[in-house]
Amino acid sequence: MSTRRLEEPRMTALTDEPAARPAPARRGGRWIEHWEPEDAEFWARTGRRVAARNLVFSIVTEHLGFCVWLLWSIAVLHMAGNGVSLSVGQVLWLTTLPNLVGAALRIPYTFAPARFGGRNWTVVSALLLLIPCGLFVFAVANPGLPFWALLLIAATTGLGGGNFASSMSNIAHFYPAARQGLPLGLNAAGGNVGVSVTQLTMPPLIAAFGLVAVGWVWMPLVLLAAAGAYLFMNNLAKAGRPYTLGEMGRISGRPHTIVLSVLYIATFGSFIGYSFSFGVLIASEFPGVTASHFIWLGALVGSAARPVGGWLADRFGGTRVTLVSFLAMGLGAVAVWAGVGAGSWGVFLGAFLWVFAATGIGNGSTYKMIPAVFRVRALARAAGDAAEGAAAAADTARREAAAAIGLISAVGAFGGVLVQQAFRVSVERTGGIGPALVALAVFYGACVVLTWAVYMRRVRIGDRRTSLADAGV
């Protein structure tokens, strides 16, 4: 652990306090005691540079988390060549369980940066990825393992899914509320693209070095990411007060947390559910097409679109962009259905990539909405309470939004399981994916109505009519 403290010359740029003033005894290493991103002068002088450095290493670690999370979605397609025979049901469980575990872990991971420090937890969460990688190597070396053991090993890859929540929760503290859309979008996209990287790079690696390469290849990269986070990231003291169970319960029970969770099920739940299922859907509906040649395209398009959604949300407002993305997703789902009905591979692929792009844009814009909602609500409370100033309200909103981001991301990941199961039920009961696509299109339509009703519908407040979208959400 580095022994540098904030009063040393190299670190004094991170605080407005005199250089000779000692930091509190409990702080050391790369802790930042003073952080005011809403202060334009502070942001221009110091904040932007420090935030960008933390964002880069957060992206790297989160990216590797997604790569490991999707490990078994590729491995199951090659297990027969390693002497392991799996039924369709077993394959589905080995790909669904990591999603379930990753979604569940996002809840404790959300609060880890506040308790341990964002930089400290990034190091720990990166090193934890060595566990699923090592266990996968063990599983490949022992093809006679019982199925329950394979399930437990696959479940550990959920550690990679948890990384997203802690990374997003941490990065939200570094940026001004008005500029969070793009950095949060970049941070998320850097992780999301790990899905595509795994799906694109693993098949040739398996062909060249065998299935065991899927486990070994990530280990040195994980170690490098942990070292980079240790050396170059920071902990923010302002985000350091741990959440109590009461606070967690209050934040999770807020009406806006619940509404935004539903919206995120539709955006991220669709993205991750489609990413896990895309190859299976191609093989099911177009058996003459080699799924591995195209499976990576969906996740790549969706990941690339995510920062675009964040940028558009910064420019036009998260609510408006989110509503349009739901319209696009609904139309895209109908187009995929039409492609399946017509037996047209070109229509199916083009429409599905359209849907992936719309989910990515919706992911970015929804994440922009979360801190904006909490900020608007906090400032409204402060306006009616002279005891709470705008600065204190903004700090409270930033902290609550960081917690809500993790909780909402967990619910969204659970939504991916629902998408997977919708396709499974549709295929088993009807022999095709058409009913699932229709149901999803209806759900997206309901999200359009929900978004308009809660965030765009104007209501009378005093002598004027306004909406949360008008207030900057």
**334: its two tokens:** 């109908």
DSSP assignment string, 113-154: HHHH-HHHHHHHHHHHTHHHHHHHHHHHH-TT--HHHHHHHH
Which tens digit of pLDDT belongs to each residue from 154-193? Answer: 999 999 998 988 998 899 889 987 787 788 878 888 888 8
How far is the C-alpha of 473 from the C-alpha of 456, rounded, in Å? 9
Give domain status of residue 30, yes or no.
Answer: no
pTM for the whole structure: 0.79
Residue range of the domain that includes 275: 35-466
pLDDT higher than threshold 70 for residue 5: no
**366: its two tokens:** 């929804």
Which tens digit of pLDDT belongs to each residue from 216-226? Answer: 999 999 999 99
pLDDT higher than threshold 90 for residue 320: yes
Q: Are 159 and 171 in contact (CB under 8 A)?
A: no
Domain of 106: which CATH number? Answer: 1.20.1250.20
- Tell me what the mean pLDDT of segment 361-369 comes to: 90
Give domain status of residue 1, yes or no.
Answer: no
Give domain status of residue 376, yes or no.
Answer: yes
The count of structural domains within the chain is 1
**258: its two tokens:** 């619940």
- Taking alpha carbons only, the member of 26, 21, 9, 35 closest to residue 234 is 35
SS3 assignment, position 25 = coil
202 CB burial (10 A radius; 0-12, 13-18, 19+): buried
- Tell me what the mean pLDDT of segment 333-337 comes to: 96
- Taking alpha carbons only, the member of 300, 440, 447 closest to residue 365 is 447
Give domain status of residue 19, yes or no.
Answer: no
